[in-house]
């Protein structure tokens, strides 16, 4: 090996090291951004369920859902879809396990009613005890970004109230599931790591 070849080899190695050093320095200057999806964590908090569809949001009264759902399932074909209330239909997949589908969402409350304690939706939020309960939002993918824009707004609002938040995207082909017990893996809902409540 000639001296010229050795010099070229050392020069190339040093050049590559300098390039790597520059790339590392540039990356280190970029601000840290939170992941777009919060990482869920185990919690002793109990979920209060909400459903976001487009620019509308509705609370889910889980006791009424199961009471009405069980009555409908016992009166007809338990595998068929049945009316639960004015806002949802349901289908029983297994005993006491319901898949919810929203109906008549244009008449659902908007985000403004979530903030107003004088509305039925606002009173549900007012009664949330952040020490024991967190807000869990099913977010219906309507094909536009409207549901996710409202999710971002509602999530920030809940956090500002000190209420932890979790959420899950759902769709017509992947509906929201509710279960009467927590041992069903599909129904184990948790708040996100960046959604810890602080209201005391």
pLDDT tens for the 200 residues of the chain, in order: 565 655 655 466 666 666 666 666 666 555 444 444 545 555 678 899 999 999 999 999 888 887 776 666 666 555 667 777 888 888 776 655 788 899 999 999 998 888 888 888 988 988 999 999 999 999 998 888 889 999 999 999 999 999 999 999 999 888 888 886 656 666 778 887 544 443 33
Q: Which pLDDT does position 170 carry in this prediction? A: 92
Q: Which pLDDT does position 136 carry in this prediction? A: 93
Provide the total of helices (H) and of strands (E) in the chain, helices listed first: 5, 8
pTM of the model: 0.71
Q: Which pLDDT does position 36 carry in this prediction? A: 47
Residues near 139 by Cβ (< 8 Å), separated by ≥ 6?
52, 147, 148, 151, 167, 168, 169, 170
Instruction: Classify burial at 11, counting beta carbons within 10 Å of its beta carbon; exposed 0-12, middle 13-18, buried 19 or more.
Output: exposed
Return the SS3 of 74: helix
- Can you tell me the distance from the alpha carbon of 165 to that of 114, in angstroms, rounded to the nearest whole number? 15
- Could you count the other beta carbons within 10 Å of the beta carbon of residue 76? 10
DSSP one-letter code for 110: B
């Amino acid at each position: 090996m000639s001296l010229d070849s050795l010099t070229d080899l050392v020069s190339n190695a040093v050049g590559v090291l300098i390039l790597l050093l520059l790339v590392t320095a540039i990356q280190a200057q970029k601000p840290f951004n939170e992941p777009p999806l919060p990482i869920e964590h185990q919690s002793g908090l109990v979920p209060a369920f909400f459903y976001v569809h487009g620019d509308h949001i509705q609370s889910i009264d889980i006791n009424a859902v199961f009471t009405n759902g069980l009555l409908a399932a016992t009166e007809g074909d338990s595998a068929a879809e049945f009316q639960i209330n004015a806002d949802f239909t349901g289908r029983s997949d297994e005993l006491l396990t319901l898949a919810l589908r929203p109906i008549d969402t244009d008449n659902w409350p908007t985000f403004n009613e979530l903030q107003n304690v004088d509305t039925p939706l606002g009173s549900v939020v007012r009664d949330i005890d952040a020490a024991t309960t967190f807000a869990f939002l099913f977010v219906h993918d309507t094909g536009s970004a409207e549901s996710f824009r409202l999710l971002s707004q509602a999530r920030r609002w809940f956090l500002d109230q000190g209420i932890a938040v979790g959420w899950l995207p759902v769709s017509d082909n992947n509906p929201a599931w509710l279960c009467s017990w927590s041992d069903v893996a599909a129904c184990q809902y948790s708040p996100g790591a960046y959604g810890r409540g602080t209201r005391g």
